[in-house]
Structure 1
Amino acid sequence: MTIPVCLGMVLLMSFNLVDTFFISMLGTEPLAAVGFTFPVTFSIISMVIGISIGTSAVLARFIGQGDKEASRHHGTAALYLTVLLVAALSLVTYLVAEPLFALLGAKDIHMPLIMAYMEVWLLGSVFLALPMVGNAVFRANGETKLPSIFMGIGGAINAVLDPLLIFGLGPFPELGIRGAAVASVVSFFIGSLVIIAMLANKYRLIHWFPGSNLPKAFKRILTIAMPAAGANMLTPLAMAVMTAMVAPYGSAAVAAFGVMTRIESIACLVVLSLSMSLPPLISQNHGAGNWHRVREAYMVAVKFVMIWQAAIYLVLLVSAPFIAAAFSQEQEVKETIVLLLFILPLGYGLQGITILSNSSFNAVHQPHSALILSIARFFVFYIPFAYLGSVWFGFEGLFYGGLLGVIITGSVAFVWFRKHLGYHLRVAYE
């Protein structure tokens, strides 16, 4: 199940890097401006990920129990819920955008660039969200190939439109940084139409219109989705705090950190893929009461992630100068990217264990445990350790402190979920 998701993620994340590459050609200030937008845009995406997690967990459990009609009804409800929540959050974000970015440390020179990007992105945010939840419906039913194809096609459209709209090639207008947002919205609008049509017409995994008891379906999904969304929204909140701590070190530091967030999305794409394919398998076996298979799936994923991320670190270490040169021509930015590539990927393996443990808690309908783990991850370990590192050792200490927080969190997450599995296995034996 993971391999097709991984292939789709490779394409999608690669095209996101292409996005960053073309923006970097506009200069350091536009690149820094996009770095400031990431915590805010990812907040909305994190809420959508939470809805996707709730959708997948609820649908997969119904499927494990053999109730496919209930699965279809809740899949439909999830799409309507996505439109309502994303539209509301995007409107609020637009109304407070300028003070929010000023709080993150954006300077006057960055603000027009940030707003040029965000106005378009927020306007089309619903179309960015619908494919994510639609893909969750597919995955809950054990279908991972089609979501991967959709992700790849969406990413390809975005990558093609990027240079055309950013630089105004041929008959296209030169929109600069705004063009990157337009390219994203257009690609996901097309994806929304295709995915919903496939779900409703060809595979009949949803209905075009919701049936009765829609509020009850909303409540069931939100019971898992809201804690999961809260946990996921802590990621951009932590990124916002980190961005604010990086900002005093200058635009080059912010630009390099923004590049690293996109490199991390590629370096951890196998973990992200596993976090999408593992929960439906766990939820279906949870519904069927097969806890031995839940344990086996979790342990295989954990062992693989540790080995895989160690290999990824070695690759990044060797290729760091080439990666830095691809994203900036300024020496200070390049040197900072190389430094961050040496430090941050050291924790990707244990970070992966935290992500898998978090998604596994949601899959067994323990969203509050996942939320507590996420709170501890960022605000007990990661941010405090990063802050202390910066106070004692400056810019490098900021990231070494964060690395230590990641290592501790991963260890706690592994022990905690293993303990939860042990309890259910003892109950099963009794």
Structure 2
Amino acid sequence: MTVPMIYGMILLMTFGLVDTFFVSLLGTDELAAISFTFPVTFTVISLNIGLGIGTSAVIGRYLGRGEQHLAHEFGTGALMLAFLLVGGLCLIGWLTIDPIFLALGATAQEMPHIRDYMGTWYLAGIMLAMPMVGNSVLRGAGDTKTPSKIMAAGGLINALLDPLLIFGWGPVPAMGIQGAALATLIAWIVGVITIIYLLAFRRKLILARLLTWPEFRASSRAILHIGLPAAGANMLTPLAGGVLTAIVAGFGTEAVAAWGVGNRLESLASIIVLALSMSLPPFISQNFGAGKLHRVAEAYRLAIRFVLVWQFVMFAVLWIASGLLAGLFAKEAQVAELIGLFLSVVPLGYGLQGVIILSNSSFNAMHKPMSALGLSTARLFIFFVPLSYFGSLLFGLHGMFWAGIVANLLTAGLAYSWFNRVIKAELNAGVTA
């Protein structure tokens, strides 16, 4: 189930990196501007992810029980709910662009670029909600190949349109950083049309109509029971990212630009973890619904062992290639130096971060969203942000990066022991019953 997701995410993340590359050609100010947008755009994406987690868990459990009609009804409700909630969040974001980004530390020189990008991106964020949640309906039914293709197609469209809309060609004017956001918008409009047609008419995994109010209320309650804490847990990440971006901003525009590039490369290096975090939950949900808890425990531990080894290999690759990658994404020597610093330290903690991500998704799959929320809160606001802040005060960016690794180590140990206690409790409850 994971391998098809890997293909799609490689293409999607690669095209996201292409997006950053083209923006970097505009200059350091534009690269810094788009780096400031990452915590905010990921807040919207996190709401989509949370709703998708709730959707996948609920549908997977109903399918495990053989209740097909409820699975289809709740899939329809998930799409309606995503459109309403994400649309509301994007409207609030659009109305508060200036105060939010000024609070993050953006300068007057960077704000015009941020307004150009986010003014268009918020509309793209609404369009993104439908494919993301729709893909969760497919994954809940055990299909990871089709979501992979949809993600890859969206990334490909975005990458092809980027140079055309950013730099212009023939009758198409050069739009600069706004062109990057417009490319994203067009890509996900295509995604909306594709996923609705596929789910409603080809696969018949949702109803080809809107739900009645009682139906919508029932489906929303079930999805939000898991999706709201999951969304909250995911939205804590960009909130913490915003705090960390503000800390990095104290070291200058060059540091923010390097931080943005490093985070995009981190997404690419974490593809296997992210793919597992999407394929593992429906496997766990269906086996949990069928009462096969030994399979749940075995799958979780196998995934943890694999991701620790794999991410260490990724650290070695990035450390070796740090100089080459830094030169590729930076025109200024100082920015390149800081990107090299990021890549030679931060990736050492990616395996530990993978343990946390997989534990979180496994908690949600077992319908324990408050445990996932508690783990995310502990990771970010007990360990990660405080340690990173004090590390930056004592040893600058070096200290901040190493403190993040220590925070991931502490949280990974907590996550692994916590999930295994939950599994043991469920097994004992099953034996008693």
After superposition, where does 1:202-221 map in structure 2 within 5 Å? 202-212=202-212, 213-221=215-223
After superposition, where does 1:36-47 map in structure 2 within 5 Å? 36-47=36-47
Partner of 1:319: 321
Q: Which consecutive aligned stretches of 4+ in structure 1 deviate over 3 angstroms post-superposition?
A: none
Distance across 1 between alignment mates of 2:244 and 2:401? 9
After superposition, where does 1:18-417 map in structure 2 within 5 Å? 18-212=18-212, 213-417=215-419
Distance across 2 between alignment mates of 1:301 and 1:91? 38
Give the residue type in structure 1 aligned to 2:133: V
Partner of 2:421: 419
Distance across 2 between alignment mates of 1:60 and 1:261? 32
SS at match of 1:124: helix
Structural RMSD (CA):
0.8
SS at match of 1:183: helix
Distance across 2 between alignment mates of 1:217 and 1:191? 24
Distance across 1 between alignment mates of 2:403 and 2:296? 34
Gaps of 5+ in 1: none
Give the residue type in structure 2 aligned to 1:87: G
SS at match of 2:83: helix
SS at match of 1:175: coil
Give the residue type in structure 2 aligned to 1:382: F
For the 8 Å contact 1:62–1:71, the answer to whether it is kept is: yes
Aligned-pair distance for 1:322? 0.8
Aligned-pair distance for 1:386? 0.5
User: Deviation per CA, 1:54-93, whole angstroms, max 9, x where unpaired?
Assistant: 0000000000000011000000000000110011001111
Aligned-pair distance for 1:3? 0.3
Distance across 1 between alignment mates of 2:15 and 2:226? 31
SS at match of 1:143: coil
Give the residue type in structure 2 aligned to 1:207: L
Give the residue type in structure 1 aligned to 2:47: M
Aligned-pair distance for 1:124? 2.5
TM-score by length of 2: 0.98
Partner of 2:431: 429
Gaps of 5+ in 2: none
Distance across 1 between alignment mates of 2:379 and 2:350? 14
Distance across 2 between alignment mates of 1:264 and 1:209? 40
Aligned-pair distance for 1:210? 3.0
Distance across 2 between alignment mates of 1:129 and 1:301? 28
Aligned-pair distance for 1:37? 0.5
Identity %: 51
Distance across 2 between alignment mates of 1:309 and 1:171? 45
User: Deviation per CA, 1:313-365, whole angstroms, max 9, x where unpaired?
Assistant: 11001111111111011100000001000111010001000000000000000
User: Deviation per CA, 1:3-42, whole angstroms, max 9, x where unpaired?
Assistant: 0011000000000000000000000000000000110010
For the 8 Å contact 1:73–1:210, the answer to whether it is kept is: no
Aligned-pair distance for 1:424? 1.2
- Paired positions, count: 430
Give the residue type in structure 2 aligned to 1:118: M
Distance across 1 between alignment mates of 2:223 and 2:207? 17
Deviates more, 1:253-262 or 1:417-426: 417-426
Aligned-pair distance for 1:304? 0.5
For the 8 Å contact 1:310–1:349, the answer to whether it is kept is: yes
Aligned-pair distance for 1:429? 2.9
Distance across 2 between alignment mates of 1:171 and 1:271? 42
Aligned-pair distance for 1:211? 3.4
Give the residue type in structure 1 aligned to 2:33: A
Give the residue type in structure 1 aligned to 2:353: Q
Distance across 2 between alignment mates of 1:119 and 1:125? 11
Give the residue type in structure 1 aligned to 2:19: D
Distance across 2 between alignment mates of 1:400 and 1:126? 36
Aligned-pair distance for 1:220? 0.7
Give the residue type in structure 2 aligned to 1:187: A
Give the residue type in structure 1 aligned to 2:270: C
Deviates more, 1:224-233 or 1:117-126: 117-126
Give the residue type in structure 1 aligned to 2:238: P
SS at match of 1:249: coil
Distance across 2 between alignment mates of 1:63 and 1:193? 26
Give the residue type in structure 1 aligned to 2:347: P
Distance across 1 between alignment mates of 2:272 and 2:398? 27
Aligned-pair distance for 1:194? 0.7
Give the residue type in structure 2 aligned to 1:113: H
Give the residue type in structure 2 aligned to 1:311: V
Give the residue type in structure 2 aligned to 1:112: P
Give the residue type in structure 2 aligned to 1:273: A
